Amino acid sequence: MPTAVWPFVLCLLVQAVPPAPPTPVPAPAAETAAPAAAPSAVERIEAVLARGELKGARVAVSVVDVEQGQSLYARNVDVPLAPASNMKLLTTAAAASLLGPAHLFRTRVLAAAPPDAEGHVEGDLVVQGGGDPCLRADAAPAGQAADGAAALVELLQRAGVRRVGGRLVLDDGLLDRAWVHPDWTPGDIANSYAAPIGALSIHGNCLKLAIDGGTRPQARLATLAATYRVRNELKPADKSNEFAVGAIRPDESGVVRVTGQVGRAVGTREIDVPVVDPAELFARCLLWQLDARELKVAGSVAVEAGAAAALAAPVELACVETPLGNALIMANKESDNSIADHLFKVLGASVGGEGSFEGGGRAVAGFLEQQVGTPMGELVLRDGSGLSHRNRVTARAMTATLATMARAEPAVRDAFLRSLPVSGADGSLDERLREAPYAGSVRAKTGYISGVSCLSGYARTRGGRTLAFSILINDYGPRQTNQQMKSIQDDVCRALVDLW
């Protein structure tokens, strides 16, 4: 395969020319045993999968030569298993293919008329959400304010807006308001990795709290958002370095309750607390920035789906855009659940009939059937992140998707490949397969939820072949750890690189 298809191949040190044959030596004496033949790749993979750590586990492995389309290894490839975060590969592949690599998320501020000479806008100011999950410091485009609300208000000022005579209206109608998936557990929902999913999202739909240690530990709001308050119920810990802190999502009045114990030697640490309503968080962040810049809004705040479409001749006063590539990279390299589930719902809104988890499932299923050629059969697509334990995919479907993306048009292919973690280099593979020749030879997505550990992606072999592989491990024993499963996955990857 041409190296242009595989941009990550350029940095590999591959021995492409076989070494010269050794100088002939006399045949060994009859009583000397001949050296054992080196195991084949298949034999080595079988030996890895025969380890005791996998006793009782359900394991599926598929290995396919991307260029030739040849199946090189197959074990239980048609058994539907939970993919954990390997589900993100299907979501991002569908997003790159169906939305297109040039797709821009757009968050717009609209009005019925432009500001007059004094900067006054008659009527409402309407903020229309485009499902952008990247209005946050770690995903914002270069050159844009890290705070999405600050970026919008700065653009309003540039447009000459000084006062608004009507209300601040937030239109979150692109996506539905089933903000968390019913499969997610209460324990999940309490954490930032299961924050709500909405058309207007900011700061990952979490509030950042700063926790200060000392003789009297304190908690304060670090997110710039109006009218939220912190109820500090922290107590000093007996151990000077102890940090055991929990926070409950803000109640209807915006109060965040913080509990736990903090040692006196603990400095300042930050925690992220998911909110209940993402549009409400967006509004409060916007109000803080409007007030800070003395841009006055006379009316109240409202959330109204369809408010933008109700404007007869809308005037765009501000627009913040984020490239799809930012979301793909965050979803795969950092395994960000929130971004993956936003992509899932946006796919639903664009091609699945509705901006919901169900719509996202239909959109990704259509991609698998029509572009990958994978019948859905027993596959189950509940969310885009893999957090749901009810998702089911097959190793064959995973490698078929990976092979399809490797053969996609260059812009689609490259956007997808760039998003994958690289062994020994970045993302969730930065600490794995760091030694030569494996560092840089694997681009793959990790995955873990309770009892499930997976790794799927591409391996570039010493022989110059590019392989798509999927390793899905479910129901490993309670005495086994995800770290042990990772070791098994890494050893399978070593066999792929070494022997094919």
DSSP string for residues in 369-438 = IIII----TT-B---SSS-STT-BB-HHHHHHHHHHHHTS-HHHHHHHHHTS-BTTTSGGGTTSS-STTT
Indicate if 160 and 295 belong to the same structural domain.
yes
What mean pLDDT value characterizes the chain? 92
Separation between Cα atoms, residue 257 and residue 247, nearest integer Å: 6
Residue 30 domain-assigned?
no
> Residue 109 is which amino acid?
V
Q: Could you report the per-residue pLDDT of 229-281, keeping only the tens digit for each?
A: 999 999 999 999 999 999 999 999 999 999 999 999 999 999 999 999 999 99
pLDDT band at residue 37 using 50, 70 and 90 as cut-offs: low
Q: How far apart are the first and last CA of the chain?
A: 15
pLDDT of residue 145: 84
Which residues form the domain of 228?
203-274
Asked whether the beta carbons of 153 and 297 are under 8 A apart, the reply is no
Report, as an integer, the average pLDDT of 214-227. 95
Read off the tokens for 480: 């086994």
* Same domain flag for 147 and 282: yes
15 token code pair: 């021995």
Residues 476-498: tens digit of each pLDDT: 989 999 999 999 999 999 999 99
Asked whether 472 and 403 are in contact (CB, 8 A), the reply is: no
Q: Would you say residue 12 has pLDDT above 90?
A: no
Confidence of residue 36 (pLDDT cuts 50, 70, 90): low
Q: Residues 211, 258: contact at Cβ < 8 Å? A: yes
pLDDT at 341 over 60: yes
Name the 3-class secondary structure at 121: strand
Hey, what are 93's tokens?
């592949």
Share of the chain above pLDDT 70, in %: 92
Note whether 316 and 308 are within 8 A (CB).
no
| 440: its two tokens | 């840089």
pLDDT digits (tens, 9 = 90+) for 82-136: 999 999 999 999 999 999 999 999 999 999 999 999 999 999 999 999 999 999 9
- Cα–Cα separations (whole angstroms), residue 165 to 125, 290, 298, 315: 9, 14, 5, 15
Rounded to the nearest 5°, which phi and psi values hold at 282? Answer: -60, -45
Q: Are residues 116 and 95 in the same domain?
A: no
258 with 363, same domain: the answer is: no
Instruction: Name the β-bridge partners of 273.
Output: 207
Higher-confidence residue of 299 and 34: namely: 299
Query: What's residue 94's pLDDT?
Result: 98
* Residues 291, 385 share a domain: no
- Quote the CA–CA distance of 394 and 164 in Å, as a whole number: 54
Q: Which pLDDT score, from 0 to 100, does residue 143 have?
A: 80
Indicate the pTM of the whole model.
0.91
- Give the amino acid at 285: C
Position 3 pLDDT exceeds 70: no
Mean pLDDT of 125-149: 92
Q: Are residues 448 and 344 in the same domain?
A: yes
Answer for the pair 480, 53: CB distance below 8 angstroms, yes or no. Answer: yes
pLDDT band at 31 (very low <50, low <70, confident <90, very high): very low
Q: Following DSSP, what letter does each residue of 42-57 receive, concatenated?
A: HHHHHHHHTSGGGTT-
8 Å CB contact between 77 and 62: yes
pLDDT for residue 9: 38
What pLDDT is attached to residue 38? 63
Structural contact between residues 168 and 301, judged by C-beta atoms closer than 8 angstroms: yes
Domain count along the chain:
3
**pLDDT tens-digit profile of 438-453?**
999 999 999 999 999 9
pLDDT band at 316 (very low <50, low <70, confident <90, very high): very high
Same domain, 160 and 284: yes
Q: What's the confidence (pLDDT) of residue 4?
A: 37
Q: How many CB atoms lie within 10 A of CB 321?
A: 14
In contact, 359 and 348? CB cutoff 8 Å: yes
Q: How many CB atoms lie within 10 A of CB 435?
A: 9
Instruction: Classify residue 167: in a domain, yes or no.
Output: yes
Same domain, 370 and 474: yes
**Dist. CA 358–CA 339, nearest whole Å:** 17
- 222 in a structural domain: yes
Task: Determine the pLDDT at residue 16.
Answer: 31
Bridge partners, 107 (sequence order): 320
